[in-house]
Amino acid sequence: MISRLFSGRALAGFGVAFAVGLGSPSIVHGLAAPAHAEDEAKPGTVRPEVGKPLQAAKAALDAKKYAEALSHLHEAEGVANKTPFEEQLIAQMSLIAAIGSDQTALAAKSFDALANGGALQPQQKLQFIEAIAGSYFRAKDYASSASWTNRYIQGGGSDLRMRDTLAQAYYLNNDFANATKATNEAIEAYARAEQLPSETLYQLLTSCALKQNDKKAYYAALEKLVAAYPKQDYWLDLLHQIVARPGSERLTLDIFRLQFAVGALTKTEHYMDFAQLAIQAGLPAEAKAIIDKGYAAGVLGAGQEAERHGRLRDMAKRSMDADQPTLGNAEAEAAKAPSGNPLVNAGMNFYGYGQYDKAASMIQAGIAKGDLKYPDDAKLHLGIVYLAAGNKQKAVEAFKSIKSGDAVNDLARLWLIKTTGHAG
């Protein structure tokens, strides 16, 4: 039945969609050229032969006619024997026009001329660097975009979106190692700022792991993605990873329990397999409860196999009716057993009936008695019972106590994510 748990494939990609709002018109026009470029008097004098084309360039910039502005600036550039102040004005306006028209090489040259000449304040530098990085990104020169974005971050820029851009630029340049590093750093920066990183960042992390064929990193990235954005498809992909782990075969019923708990149990065959496994495990009440929920959700009781669904429901009810009167004797017999296994099993049966306090007490007694075939499975069940009883703290303690290296440890981590929003 394990092959019917999932579609048989992990989600190989998430359609990562990049959105970069850098170098936008609002940024470009926030970098205004001098209001009266022809007669700036304080730091120096602008001669008429330079001031006239600068004034025309300023008017073109205001109208967002960047090519026209550059033409006027080229005219000003051709004037002989320009003063340093005139050179500075031309470079500043050329920078704005170049950014507006996505002429990245000219923008970078103009910026360096201004920055090296000490003509820009620190905040101005960051604004220009941000705009140039965005311009390179739109031009698909991702290596240059990454370089300029790093300049922004190293210069003290605090806009977290620039960290998104850096990760995306590395990724689109097929530099997956640096993309992974930048993505993790971005996620950490958002955490320090107490902000939720974008879903794209987490998708980027999973995609980087796939590109590098790093299964361990992929699983870790999936955990982070599910913790931040607990969507059904992401949960199914994580659960699919567990099916391939050592020890997963005996945990099929527990995988179904988690799949149901996170809202990812949606297919008719999954409800049927879940209920059948519960009956086979001697848990008729749990089976009946799952079948009833399947009917309530409209997943069972319809279609060509509606009659089969009804037969399974009747079977679960008959088993439950025969089992319920024996619960007291089963508890007494389990207490007499030399190992704790019968107590744990009986506890899970009480869980199916909704008697969570009784179930927790019996499972605890079974763990204390010892000689368990799978001690960590018992701790996992104890956590599930505590969570059903509404005792989140005890559930977390139980899940965190599981230290084995097989699939039960993975399941415990996923229950922690479901319970607390993180795996730690």
In a domain, 229, yes or no: no
State whether the Cα torsion 341-366-387-11 is positive or negative. negative
The verdict on 133 and 259 lying in the same domain is: no
Give how many domains the chain has, as a whole number: 2
The verdict on 46 and 167 lying in the same domain is: yes
pLDDT average, residue stretch 171-180: 97
The verdict on 258 and 352 lying in the same domain is: yes
Domain encompassing residue 184: 25-211
In a domain, 318, yes or no: yes
The verdict on 200 and 280 lying in the same domain is: no
What are residue 264's phi and psi, to 5 degrees?
-105, 10
In a domain, 10, yes or no: no
What the block records as the tokens of 224 is 């982070």
Question: Do residues 288 and 313 touch, judged by C-beta distance below 8 A?
Answer: yes
In a domain, 353, yes or no: yes
User: Does the pLDDT of residue 194 top 90, yes or no?
Assistant: yes
Among 26-40, 155-169, 367-381, name the one with the lowest average pLDDT: 26-40
The verdict on 48 and 192 lying in the same domain is: yes
The verdict on 264 and 362 lying in the same domain is: yes
Q: Is the pTM of this model over 0.85?
A: no
In the prediction, which pLDDT does 18 show? 52
pLDDT average, residue stretch 297-313: 94
Residues 83-100 have pLDDT tens digits of: 888 888 888 888 889 888
Q: For residue 140, which amino acid is it?
A: K
- How far is it, in rounded angstroms, from Cα 183 to Cα 220? 13
In a domain, 296, yes or no: yes
The verdict on 254 and 201 lying in the same domain is: no
Question: Do residues 229 and 202 touch, judged by C-beta distance below 8 A?
Answer: yes
The verdict on 159 and 286 lying in the same domain is: no
Residue 26 pLDDT class (50, 70, 90 cuts):
very low
CATH for 286: 1.25.40.10
The verdict on 198 and 290 lying in the same domain is: no
Q: Which of 181, 211, 241 is the last residue of a domain?
A: 211
The verdict on 130 and 204 lying in the same domain is: yes
The verdict on 187 and 277 lying in the same domain is: no
The verdict on 385 and 260 lying in the same domain is: yes
State whether the Cα torsion 30-36-38-40 is positive or negative. negative
Q: Percent helix, strand, coil in the chain (nearest 5)?
A: 70, 0, 30
In a domain, 176, yes or no: yes
In the prediction, which pLDDT does 424 show? 66
Q: Which of 211, 238, 258 is the last residue of a domain?
A: 211
Q: Which residue is listed with tokens 């820029």?
A: 157
User: Does the pLDDT of residue 16 top 70, yes or no?
Assistant: no
In a domain, 231, yes or no: no
Q: Which of 153, 183, 211 is the last residue of a domain?
A: 211
Residues 218-275 have pLDDT tens digits of: 999 999 999 999 999 999 999 998 888 877 899 999 999 999 999 999 899 999 999 9
User: Does the pLDDT of residue 121 top 90, yes or no?
Assistant: no
Q: Would you call 253 exposed, middle or buried from its count of C-beta atoms within 10 A (0-12, 13-18, 19+)?
A: middle
In a domain, 97, yes or no: yes
Residue 104 pLDDT class (50, 70, 90 cuts):
confident
